[in-house]
Amino acid sequence: MSQPLLKVTQLAKSFSGVWALSDANLRVGAGEIHALLGENGAGKSTLLKALAGAQPQTHGEIWFNGETLKPDDSPVERQNKGIITIYQEFNLLPNMTVAENMFLGREPRRHNLIVDAKAVNNEAQVILDYLQLNIAPTTAVARLSVAQQQMVEIARALTLNARLIIMDEPSAALSDSEVESLHRVVRELKGRGVSIIYVTHRLHEVFQLCDRFTVFQDGRYTGSGDVAGTNVEEIIRLMVGRNVVFNRRDASLTHHQDKPIRLSIKGLSREKPPLDPHGIALKDVSFHVHAGEVLGIAGLVGAGRTEIARCLFGADKFTSGSFELDGKPYQPRDPMHALDQGIALVPEDRKKEGAVLGLSIRDNMSLSSLSSLLTWRYFVSPHKEDALIAAYRQALQIKMVNPEQEVRKLSGGNQQKVILARCMALNPRVLIVDEPTRGIDVGTKSEVHQVLFDMASQGVAVIVISSDLPEILAVSDRIITLSEGHITGELHGDEANEERLMTMMAINHSALNAA
Ligand SMILES: Nc1ncnc2c1ncn2[C@@H]1O[C@H](COP(=O)(O)OP(=O)(O)OP(=O)(O)O)[C@@H](O)[C@H]1O
Ligand SMILES: [Mg+2]
């Protein structure tokens, strides 16, 4: 490579004596899409925050576009130099329009005074058209999907004359078709000579999209190279220092039909909520799950998977249908009541609904705080609590300094592990996990699966919702597929494969009925 655009050398960052990064190196060329990879807690987000001016490094050097950057630059100073960061928690203002957000603070004005709304909308439209985004500049951001909001952030970066756009797990919350349009836009940016740093745990994206890659392990640089000259195995070795195998659950060994039915759902239906632009209707959904069984629910985004989970958990209302739990009628009034009946949900949007980020890991996982949610009380000895936290820390490889640490100070993936552990510690009768390994690194995925198997072997009925078909196939004893709010099929784990699932997930129910 000739002179790179960005050169990071021996960057280190400590948080009160704990080194999040100790020896990070990174070189990114102009017009290059660079994958930044590593396990949960490897230090990726920490490096990105140092680049963005959000959190200065403790030592080491950042050289960008011909100059060494001052460690105490503010985010605005970095932005003016052309470094734009798109975090997973977006920074858009929901009640303002797309165009207003794109030009916030830099609006074209008439006579330098009055904001020229027409010019703002016109300029925004030019960029939205260029990116082939079908979004009107006058739409309020609150009405957009997560994927569209992300596109608006990218459009905003273009109005800022970005030279380097940093994306921290941009595809984590997107469906496959949304990921495709994200990739298309990222390639457009590259075509303009913009460089991209792209963080992801979905390793196949590296091969679809990226030119070069760099891997960190435990805050240290472990390798980099051309994507064309590597393979998944090598990248995983650089990430975790060992080979990773995925165990598929042996569905032939598990005869759940003999076990009692733990939960059954009959005729669950609901209308599309009028006030929610992304709401989904459910139409006559019926299925059951046995004690000790892992039931997978597969479907495209928008098929209604999360909606079923939320109805079961008492978080959403439904128009008709009934549930039975261990043979008795179960009518969830609200999530508290659902928990009290032994139904636990690990939600899809964990930042919003899951962990109490300001509390310690101990307070999130402790039996006393959990039992106060419930009417069945535990006798809690501190010893038992320590043992429980230690067990989950080990089983899920939660990277923490100690259980007193605040959850917000953990890396994204480790926060998710705490939420998983919290729900498992409730010892529920039914455990519903929605996208259980989203944001979790490739090395820990199989550990999460193992913990789900352990729950099932203790008799818990486990329902797994996942967009990751290999994951659904690896964990499920039985799989049901959902399309447009209808159940479209059921397969035993043994007979399922990606192709059959995809076909069943794509069945268009309304067209079938019309025919
Ligand atoms: N504000 C903070 N205070 C203390 N420790 C922190 C803070 N922010 C991050 N850390 C620690 O720094 C380490 C690296 O975290 P970082 O968020 O950079 O990881 P990551 O590679 O982005 O992981 P993930 O893939 O899970 O997002 C973690 O062990 C984390 O606990
Ligand atoms: Mg991160």
Contacts of 489 (CB under 8 A, 6+ apart): 480, 481, 504, 507
Residue 202's contacts (CB-CB under 8 Å, 6 or more residues apart) are 171
Q: Which of 478, 433, 471 is nearest to 455 (CA)?
A: 433
Report the residue among 48, 89, 240, 409 best suited for mutation to probe ligand 1: largest number of ligand atoms under 8 A from its CB. 409
Nearest ligand to residue 415 Cα: 1
122-165 pLDDT per residue, tens: 999 999 998 888 899 999 998 888 788 888 988 998 888 899 99
Reading the chain (515 residues) residue by residue, the pLDDT tens digits are 567 999 999 999 999 888 999 999 999 999 999 999 999 999 999 999 999 999 999 999 999 999 999 999 999 999 999 999 998 666 788 889 999 999 987 777 777 777 788 889 999 999 999 888 889 999 999 888 878 888 898 899 888 889 999 999 988 877 777 888 899 999 999 999 999 999 999 899 999 999 999 999 989 999 999 999 999 889 988 998 766 666 666 655 555 667 899 999 999 999 887 766 667 889 999 999 999 999 999 988 778 898 999 999 998 889 999 999 999 999 999 988 998 899 999 887 766 655 677 888 888 887 656 665 555 445 556 677 788 889 889 988 899 999 999 988 888 888 888 888 888 888 899 999 998 988 888 888 888 898 899 899 999 999 999 988 889 999 999 999 998 899 999 999 888 988 899 888 887 765 555 54
Tokens of 484: 């447009």
Backbone angles phi, psi at 92, to 5 degrees: -80, 155
Question: How far apart are alpha carbons 250 and 248 in whole angstroms?
Answer: 6
Which of 411, 414, 442 most suits a substitution to test ligand 1, by most atoms within 8 Å of the C-beta?
411
First to last CA, the chain: 59
Q: Which ligand has its closest atom nearest to the C-alpha of 13?
A: 1
Q: Which helix (H) or strand (E) holds 498?
A: helix 498-505
Ligand 1 close to Cβ of residue 342 (< 6 A): no
pLDDT in tens, 237-273: 899 876 666 666 665 555 566 789 999 999 999 988 7
Ligand 2 geometric centre to CA of 181 (Å): 23
CA of 411 to the centre of ligand 1 (A): 4
β-partners of residue 322 are 266
412 C-beta closer than 6 A to ligand 1: yes
In this structure, the number of other CB atoms found within 10 A of the CB of residue 272 comes to 13
Of all protein residues, whose CA lies closest to atom 24 belonging to ligand 1? 40
Ligand 2 centroid–CA 66 distance in Å is 28
Give residues with Cβ within 8 angstroms of 398, minimum separation 6: 361, 392, 410, 414, 417, 418, 421
The DSSP bridge partners found for residue 463 are 295, 432
Place of tokens 């959000």: 54
Which domains does the chain carry? 6-240 (3.40.50.300), 254-356+429-514 (3.40.50.300)
Query: What is the phi/psi pair of residue 304, to 5°?
Result: 110, 10
CA of 144 to the centre of ligand 2 (A): 24
Ligand 1 binding pocket includes 416 (Cβ within 6 Å): no
